[in-house]
Amino acid sequence: MSNRTRRDSSPLPSSRTQSSNIAASVRNAVTLALHALREIFDESAYQRFLRRTMLPSSPASYAAFLNEQQTLKARRPRCC
């Protein structure tokens, strides 16, 4: 019986729909994890720096990024 229905007459989701939902959920979880890792390791901050300063990615621009990050860190008040 391929057209099974629930007691309330609504059709049951097909296994293809369920597997595509699972695949989409896994893709979303992996994407979220990658974005989190890029933030943790400053890759996203570096990309934002490059866009803001309109510099190409290079050792010199990465050195400028690190210098800016150190300057910003030094300005932050220290707690305790």
The answer to whether residues 11 and 17 touch, using CB atoms and an 8 Å cutoff, is no
What is the pLDDT, as a whole number, of residue 54?
A: 97
Mean pLDDT of the chain: 85
Q: What is the pLDDT of residues 24-69, one digit of tens each?
A: 999 999 999 999 998 888 899 999 999 999 999 999 999 999 999 9
Q: Residue 46: inside a domain, yes or no? A: yes
Q: Rounded to 5 degrees, what are φ and ψ at 59?
A: -60, -35
What pTM, to 2 d.p., does this model score?
0.61
Question: Residue 2 corresponds to which amino acid?
Answer: S
Q: Residue 77: inside a domain, yes or no? A: no
* CA diameter of the chain: 69
Q: Residue 23: inside a domain, yes or no? A: yes
**Number of domains comprising the chain:** 1
Q: Residue 40: inside a domain, yes or no? A: yes
Residue 29: domain span: 15-52
Q: Residue 1: inside a domain, yes or no? A: no
The answer to whether residues 56 and 49 touch, using CB atoms and an 8 Å cutoff, is no
What is the sign of the dihedral through the CA atoms of 21, 26, 30 and 36?
positive
